[in-house]
Amino acid sequence: MKEIYYTPRHYSAIELWKDVTEQEWQDPQWQMKNAIRTVDQLKKIIKLNAYQVAEIERTITTLQQQGKEPFRMTPYYASLMQADPFHPKMLEGEKEEKRLDPIFWQSVPTPAHLLFPDTGVEGAMSEGSRSYGAAYQRYPNRVALFVAENTSCAAYCQHCQRSKSLDGSVDVNSTMINRGLFYISQNPNINEVLVTGGDALMISKHRLQFILEELSSIPHLRVIRIATRVPVVMPMGVTDEVLELIKKSAN
């Protein structure tokens, strides 16, 4: 077996969370309430020089002025970053030059995001180009069903194709979801549905149960996928209750 070359810091070794109890840390609600949103918080977790602080700050401020929500990171996910993300520990034989900690890279807004401000806004899955209600069909047999507010994700991924529209303007209501379900039920060529958002595991349990039960009752569906980053960015959110709900409602 290969040797593990990097072990993340325990959260209590990080100044910002040194007084946090294990119970708080394992609580998804605590994780969401204490999400990292500012450079001031970030620099208590990782090493940044004055220039890096200023550039990240400039990026966040510019995007906020455009009405966007550019930065959200759960404490759990932030604790996985290497202490010096611009000089990450490398595998033996790899060159450190120009490497960046991958979790920093996918989570922290950097000035590259300001270069093409409108890219992705008019993307194929944007709200104006849906097939019917909350359903968007890109492939003959597969449909994406949008079920969440676009700011509902536990953490914001900088690589997200929807990240340019993370501005709180889209809340998929139940009418849209019902229309999407109707569209799927009336198209027997569809055998796969991606339940997505935002993050589909961040919606209310009631809504998730309703959607999974409705989809499960459509005879031509073979696959229901739940699009979520919760297992990665906030694994304490995947509770027995959630797993039981999925098991009961989707079969």
Summarize as ranges the residues that interact with ligand SF4 (CB under 6 A).
153, 156-157, 160, 162-163, 197-199, 229
Name which of 149 and 187 has its Cβ closer to ligand SF4. Answer: 149
Q: Minimal distance in Å, beta carbon 1 to ligand SF4?
A: 31
Name which of 210 and 229 has its Cβ closer to ligand SF4. Answer: 229
Name which of 53 and 194 has its Cβ closer to ligand SF4. Answer: 194
Q: Minimal distance in Å, beta carbon 164 to ligand SF4?
A: 10
Q: Minimal distance in Å, beta carbon 66 to ligand SF4?
A: 17
Distance CA 212, CA 24 (A): 30
Residue in 19, 30, 8 with CA at minimum distance from that of residue 75: 30
Distance CA 180, CA 225 (A): 15
Name which of 14 and 157 has its Cβ closer to ligand SF4. Answer: 157
Distance CA 169, CA 68 (A): 10
Q: Tokens representing 18?
A: 């040194």
Name which of 153 and 184 has its Cβ closer to ligand SF4. Answer: 153
Name which of 227 and 245 has its Cβ closer to ligand SF4. Answer: 227
What separation in angstroms does the CA of 232 have from each of 2, 138, 237?
22, 26, 10
Residue in 144, 134, 146, 125 with CA at minimum distance from that of residue 200: 146
Distance CA 129, CA 202 (A): 24
- Beta carbons within 8 Å of 151's beta carbon, 6+ residues apart: 69, 166, 167, 168, 198
**Burial class of 79 by CB neighbour count within 10 A (0 to 12, 13 to 18, 19+):** buried
- Residue whose beta carbon is closest to ligand SF4: 160
Q: Minimal distance in Å, beta carbon 221 to ligand SF4?
A: 22
Q: Tokens representing 241?
A: 């209750």
Q: Minimal distance in Å, beta carbon 54 to ligand SF4?
A: 25
Name which of 14 and 234 has its Cβ closer to ligand SF4. Answer: 234
Q: Minimal distance in Å, beta carbon 199 to ligand SF4?
A: 4
Residue in 65, 232, 67 with CA at minimum distance from that of residue 166: 67
CA quadruple 85, 5, 73, 110: dihedral sign: positive
Q: What is the DSSP letter of 132?
A: B
Q: Minimal distance in Å, beta carbon 148 to ligand SF4?
A: 8
